[in-house]
Each structure stands twice: as C-alpha cells, then as structure tokens.
Structure 1
Amino acid sequence: MSEHEAESVVSEDLVADESAAEEDGPLVLDVDAMPGGAKAAIEAILMVTDDPVTSMALATALEIPVPAVETHLQTLIADYGDRGFTLREVAGGWRIYSRPEYAAAVERFILEGATAKLTQASLETLAVIAYRQPISRGRVGAVRGVNVDGVVRTLLTRGLIEEVGSEPESGAILYGTTDYFLERLGLRDLSELPALAPYLPEVDILDELAETGRA
C-alpha cells in the first residue's frame, strides 16, 4: 500500500468515526434546550451529589461560562426563599442543605427512624445471629425458612450486626452482633444472653436445617 493510499484509508476512517458520533447524538450539550435551562440543570446536578461541587465543575459539565454558573447559583438561592432547604457554598463548592431553622424537626425524624421498633422478622433474624454467630446469611435463612437478605441489610444499617469474616469453604460472609447490640440489651457480653434451649430446637437440629438449606 502506498503512502497516498494509507492516508486515504485513515481519512475515510476519521470520516466514518465522525459520522457515527453524529448518529449517536450531539457532541455539544445544549442546556438552553432543556426545560428550565442551565439553572434547572445546575439544580438537578446539585440534587444528586453528596459532595460540594465547584462552579468550575458545573461550568465544565454544562459547557457554559463560570460567571453564568455563579449567576444561576445566586438565583437559586433567592428562589428557595423560605423553603426547608437552601444552597450553601462550603469547602470551595456548592451543595444543597436543610435550613438550620428546621434542625430540630430533622433531628427528631432521624432519631425516631433509628429507634423505631424492629419487625418480628428482624427480631427473629437477630436472635438467630446472636445465638449462632458467626453465621452466614444462607444459614440464617435456612434456620428461619425464608430469605433474610432484606432483614440482614436492615440490621446492618441499624448497627446491630456486622461482618466478622467469611467461611473458608464457600467464602460466604459471616455475621455477628455488635457492641451496640449489647448496649441496647444492657449486656456486658454475649455470655449474659438468656438461655434459649426451651425455645429452640436442639443445636444439632439447627445445624441439620442449615445444611439442608445449603444443599
């Protein structure tokens, strides 16, 4: 292949790539065509971020000048007025926060959610983990006879259980209770848990059930 032919092939490939890009969609983001324009686009980004976002990052993402971003940010602050949230500049970036005036309401909501009573399913799962730890999620489900994935996530979120290792054979995560669990029950250690023998099958039966569930 001659040098001229090679250049021709490269040129055709570039044209093909550009044509494909045009078919996939526009290369330039047109925020003005969006409902609410750039201001609404900035607000949408701020609603989904966990960390403060700089004006430069917003400008780069939306392909608009930094001064325009800062103007929109100030407009958003004014738009929120006496709403329950506001826009604040912290750590060099911008983020949406609840207003300090409503801190008491937010605090009460969070605390009540954290101390809400556990469901019967959660209590039963927690009991199995407490008395049979360390234990895998599959073995807990085998003992209870139901899927416990959601319940285990709830107990993890509440800080009542934690991951304590994994089974050497299967690699399954093992769970155990936390110090917070002991604190909530007023126990110094697990040895103070009440005897469970009168209420559960014998240990060998529990193991048999767990092994059956894993088969």
Structure 2
Amino acid sequence: MIDDEILAGIEAVLMITDSAVSAEELATSLGLDVDTVVEAITTLKADYDGDADHRQRGFEIRHVAGGFRIFSRGDYHEVVKGFLTAGQSAKLSQAALETLAVIAYRQPISRPRIAAIRGVSVDGVIRTLLLRGLIVEAGKEASTSALLYATTPQFLDTMGMNAIDDLPDIAPYLPEDADVAELGSDDDEVLAEIDGDLDADDDMPATGADIAAPGAEMSRLDD
C-alpha cells in the first residue's frame, strides 16, 4: 500500500511538467526508490481509470518518451477540442499577427529573441498562437536552452501556401535605410526596425490582410 503523501507528491510533479518524467527522475526528486515510484504510478493509473466503485477521471497517466505524463483522456478528445477551438472565430490581434510574422520569417526562434525584436512581452501572444495551432515548439536553443518556436502546417494551410518559402518578399516593408540582405543574419536589429512602432495592445483586433501575401486567403485566420 503506497502512502497517500507519496501519491500526492508524484501527482503534483506530473501536473506541472511539460515533458515526460522518468521513474528515476521522480525517485531522485522525491527521495524514493524506483520500485516505489513505479508502484505508485500503477496505483494512480488504476485510480484514474476507475472501477465499479469509483468513476473514471477525465485524465490519465501515459508512459511516453521513456517517462510518464498526465494527459486528458482520449475518450474526451472532442470535448477538449471543442473547448480549445471555442472563440477561434475571433480575429487575431495586431500583436499576434506581428509575433506570427516574426516567427514565420525567423524560425526557429526563441521567445526572448521574439520579445527583443518586438520590444514587448510576448508570453500571452505565444500562448494564443500555440492554442490556435499556428506555431509549435521546435526544440531548444543550444546556447540558452530556451524553447524555439516555428510555424505549423496549419499556418501554411491558413495562409494558402505550400511551403514557408512561399512567404512574400519582405523587402517592400523594410524601412528605406534597412539592408534586406541582413534579414537572414543573426542581427535582430533589422527585424526590430521592421517592427518599428507596431506596439499595438493584444486586445486590438486586426485582419489577416496585415501580413498576407498578395492574393492569400488570410480571411481564414478570422474564421
């Protein structure tokens, strides 16, 4: 019989982690042996799955990528999908469009670098774009271990493009004194100039046409 405090401790860790945690990592962090951790996870899994006397939970523990994570139960995929997509008919804000443009042209790029280019915090906007499925985590930056972000196939579909190379030439939107060739370098100051005074509040709606390629069906962002 596993002590309730041990079960609660493992639950607490699994609830906050954004990646799979191995039994060894759990054992080390909680001061337990691996066998106890495995037994505790088995107990939690059975509890979440329910039985004749207890209801099934809406979440479950899965063994993935060599470790354990808590996920919403697959049976409720449509419920979760409905919640996540609710309200997506609203237009993307100006701030979201600007951030999406930075990611599209400089991907993969980290959150701190995006914030440095825009000159404002982008935490909320990043969450919005992830929720909309327009960007995805794409590994970590070697020098800082910061998460990198890149656009998704859904972004391409929304933009009406086959590949990221179909993005429109950004040169016409650069300040006259900006060097277009520098855009591919690591100098964030160039994109900072592109961003200019675009510091609109996150709550200010904007149409997709603000970053659309000529003829692109950007209205789909507003569906």
- TM-score (norm: length of structure 2): 0.45
Give the greater-gyration-radius structure (CA). 1
More RCO (CA 8 Å, sep 6+): 2
Larger % of helix: which? 1
